[in-house]
Structure 1
């Protein structure tokens, strides 16, 4: 073990401050002193965890932060390496949300809805999920058959691990450290409903970013809650708006989740996350963080609210797998043990399946016994497709439009300053293979379109080249 690593653990951590932030600071100091050198390995997570007497999840979160800032890079089977140091000429990745394209700054509130009929400014085409034929469903069904017998539930290639232990490893890979009893897998789309029924009493005040989140509005109103809206910008929900509401009324919970308004599909900037966590501790409200990106992260790691140091309560509701959602759709709820037990009782009352028998086949399919699973190869293929789309866009469009790539999810945005009549776009969609509107009951009303939300879950590069060539001609 290199002697220069000792500087990371010579002094104990201050338990009154954020442990994650202190680890980040020590790593940056070590890079400045040349104790951690560019191109060389950093201490393994388990080693630094043991030396500092902190949980492995705390160290992992710190490493993810350093990775997001462009300093660290994990290399499969080799560990994590330094790729950049503070103050070097290499540009680190900045922030958590890229600047929103200029066409999104006006009419911001209109971009918060999913239906073109509410906003003539943009149209949605393409699929944001892969086709089931992409997923090697035969592997999944083989696993389902192998788990038909109860004794196979605990035999999945990692010794005598339990399904819960497998699930905790999956959550840890996404930046969430959860202990036994702090997580629950539920049927898809039931997580927020059950959380609201467990948490909310009639008259409780829930704060959301926008009234256009129709599904969440209906869920909370069904539980008898009253709603307030804090607004949002390109960094996420406005914490000034949240605090203004907190000063006026007692807030029970604040809901945050990615909106269609954010082209990168992130929930909050890092600065806004920290401010919201501070407000949760100050005003004693619960944070409900919705995140359905799952494993669909391209350029930076996800560090959800549940993965950050906090004093308030956080309920995190995510997806067991976004890529394989057509095979099995499950929500994963992470919260305190008492709350999880209460949610489980509500699930039992509704006769909803939440035991491992229901979700373990999908979890094993994602992991595939620790080998290189098909689901991981599929994610790599989408990374390659995104690179090809970017190259084709730059070559064909020649600066006539702006493309905003996703940080998460299988959808991107293309914006242009000069509007295109919708009736000119519909034939182009059909010609390029984005024939979504042929399946609709009616076409969108005539309008000037200045943005496209394009899913690339089921289209290849040839469809995008045809689309870009047509757009270039129209612009």
Structure 2
């Protein structure tokens, strides 16, 4: 006899009706083979007495089982499991506490699939209460213009003629945003583009992915810095590309190395973070910018320019991107509004020759039909009204002050352990170790002191990437009090490690 009283659990506080709960659990018993085909279900009166529910509830559950095809009714005999259902091997009942086998079955796939060991699988969960995080260099979401976004979003959704944006729209992205971005990028970055050259993406990472898939689909070579944005490297590998690493110095990637490679073999692309090299924050010099553009025209390769934090440059006016001087149609320019506003605002853009954006839109269609048209329209209005520009200027001032405080305290308190250059822009500092210390041990000890070092750090256990000599310590997302406390905890960490060395 099946112990229905113990294996069926009904929650009267649940929003799911009791009869549906009963129906679903009986279906699970059928699926697990506990109730095989042609087996008889208990009578409705007996089941109602056993489960202490109204008989009409049981009748409703049994009727639902018949409607769904799990059971069949034989007049004057009762309700039976459908005889046409396949016979299955009896398995543990899901949720039964007597065995953990059901949990193991759910976690282990019963089929083969491709394992991508080269891809990161870290969950960016929120830190525990009291934990301070040195991130990779992200904006402070606490100063994001939430009220302005909410107000404009409400204005957009209230207007009846905007309801068309609730349906499918252009795979290129909202037309108004593409037009607003065209004017904005032409004005602030010296581009000479049109809305037809702009493809809206879900952040810059999607732009990198689309570019990599189109450029490296046949196993091409992409040139990257020996220190480089790790997520981009993994995208290139995932896309079937081969990484060719070149030197990076105080003037950015060494373009003479690019030329030397081109003389011996064909390359598909050069990936560059020209404004503030990721992770070292150095700026690509003017002569190397010109050299790289000339090489791209001569050897017919693409330049994937990831301009992830153009708006945050402190020492002088931002240097115009490579895309502003591209006369050969060789630059794919990638950026994102989420770096200005907040990481959760997943709106980025790709600017490229028309035939390339057309092809990228075809690929984008099969992985993500479109973005968020209402949010895109909201941001278009905020760009037109100057809200995004005003917030950018406000954030620039705040981050500039935080950079100065961070670098001053870092030099004052921790110069014995770290070497660094004050970055001209961006939201992080590239910090290198002076002594023979291990970043992994520093990170482990820092956690004990309530400090998480989560930037681009040399992971000694990474099977793909070589360990970096330094790490990025993001300062933009920390206020002044948090910066002081974070560096005090880092000082305590290093003093402890120094004693052990």
2:195 is paired with a residue whose SS is: coil
Provide the rounded CA distance (Å) in 1 between the counterparts of 2:295 and 2:192: 22
In 1, are the aligned partners of 2:382 and 2:388 still within 8 Å (CA)? Answer: no
Residue of structure 2 aligned with 1:237, choices 253, 260, 275? 253
2:195 aligned residue (173, 180, 184): 180
What secondary structure sits across from 1:190 in the alignment? helix
Equivalent residue for 2:423, pick from 399, 406, 411 = 406
CA drift of 1:276 comes to: 0.9
Q: 1:338 to 1:354 in 2, by over 3 A?
A: farther
Q: Is the partner of 1:242 in helix, strand or coil?
A: helix
Deviations 1:142-196 (A, max 9, x none): 222222246469xxxxxxx943332123213134332231111111221122223
Q: Give the aligned partner of residue 168 of structure 1.
A: 182
Matched, 1:454 2:470: no
Aligned pairs for 1:33-52 (under 5 A) are none
Does the 8 Å contact 1:284/1:312 carry over to 2? Answer: no
Distance 1:151 1:233, change over 3 A: same
Q: Which whole-Å CA distance do the structure 2 matches of 1:376 and 1:180 have between them? A: 25
Q: Which structure carries more relative contact order (alpha carbon 8 Å, separation 6+)? A: 1
- For residues 237 and 342 of structure 1, the distance between their equivalents in structure 2, rounded to whole angstroms, comes to 29
Equivalent residue for 1:339? Answer: 356
Q: Structure 2 unaligned runs (5+)? A: 1-118, 122-132, 164-174, 463-467
Deviation string for 1:431-453 (max 9, x for gaps)? 5x63458xxxx9999xxx98563
Residue deviations 1:293-344, cap 9 Å, x none? Answer: 1422222303211012543511111112403233412221111112112212
Are the aligned partners of 2:305 and 2:332 in contact in 1 as well (CA < 8 Å)? yes
Quote the residue 2:491 is aligned against: 471
Give the corresponding residue for 1:138. 147
CA distance in 1, matches of 2:418, 2:247: 28
Q: 1:114 to 1:171 in 2, by over 3 A?
A: farther
Alpha-carbon RMSD across the aligned residues, in angstroms, is 4.1
Q: SS at the partner of 2:331?
A: strand
Q: In structure 2, what is the Cα distance between the partners aligned to 1:212 and 1:162?
A: 34
Using the TM superposition, give the Cα deviation of residue 255 of structure 1 relative to its aligned residue in structure 2, in angstroms: 2.0
Aligned to 2:403: 386
Residue 176 of structure 2 contacts residue 377 of structure 2 at CA under 8 Å; is this kept in 1? no
1:258-280, CA deviations, whole angstroms, 9 ceiling, x for partnerless residues? Answer: 687653254x2222111111111
Aligned mates of 2:222, 2:426 — CA distance in 1? 27
Task: Give the conservation status (yes or no) of the 8 Å contact 1:209–1:231.
Answer: yes
Q: Secondary structure at the match of 1:377?
A: helix
Q: Aligned to 2:451, what secondary structure does the other structure show? A: coil
Q: 2:156 aligns with which of 147, 163, 183?
A: 147
Change (3 A) 1:364 1:430: farther
In structure 2, how many angstroms separate the alpha carbons of the residues matched to 1:435 and 1:355? 33
**C-alpha contact 1:175 1:302 (8 A) present in aligned 2:** no
2:335 corresponds to which residue? 318
Q: What does the per-residue CA deviation read over 1:62-101, in whole Å, with 9 as the maximum and x for residues that have no partner? A: xxxxxxxxxxxxxxxxxxxxxxxxxxxxxxxxxxxxxxxx
Q: Which residue of 2 aligns with 1:253?
A: 269
Matching residue of 1:283: 299
Residue 296 of structure 1 contacts residue 322 of structure 1 at CA under 8 Å; is this kept in 2?
no
SS in 1 for 2:402: helix
Which residue of the partner structure matches residue 125 of structure 1? 134
SS at 1:324 equivalent: coil
Name the CA distance, whole Å, in 1 between partners of 2:416 and 2:191: 40
Alignment match of 1:195 (pick from 211, 221, 228): 211
Change beyond 3 A, Cα 1:176–1:425: same
Cα distance in 2 for residues equivalent to 1:443 and 1:253: 28
1:79-90 superposed matches below 5 A: none
* Equivalent-residue separation in structure 2 for 1:391 and 1:185 (angstroms): 39
Alpha-carbon spacing, 1:227–1:132, altered in 2? closer, same or farther (3 Å): closer
Distance 1:281 1:356 in 2: 36
Counterparts of 1:254 and 1:232, CA distance in 2: 13
The answer to whether the Cα contact below 8 Å between 1:291 and 1:317 also exists between their aligned partners in 2 is yes
**SS across alignment from 1:288:** strand
TM-score (norm 2): 0.57
**How far apart are 1:140 and its partner, in Å?**
1.5
| Counterpart mapping for 1:69-84 below 5 A | none
CA distance in 2 between counterparts of 1:359 and 1:263 reads 32
Contact (CA 8 Å) 1:277, 1:312: kept in 2 or not? no
- 2:225 is the counterpart of 1:209: yes
Instruction: After TM superposition, give the deviation of residue 385 of structure 1 in Å.
Output: 2.1
The number of equivalent residue pairs is 340
Q: Which residue of 1 aligns with 2:18?
A: none
Bigger shift: residues 387-396 or 143-152: 387-396
284-293 vs 234-243, which deviates more?
234-243
Report deviation, 1:459: 2.1
The alpha carbon displacement at 1:368 in A equals 4.7
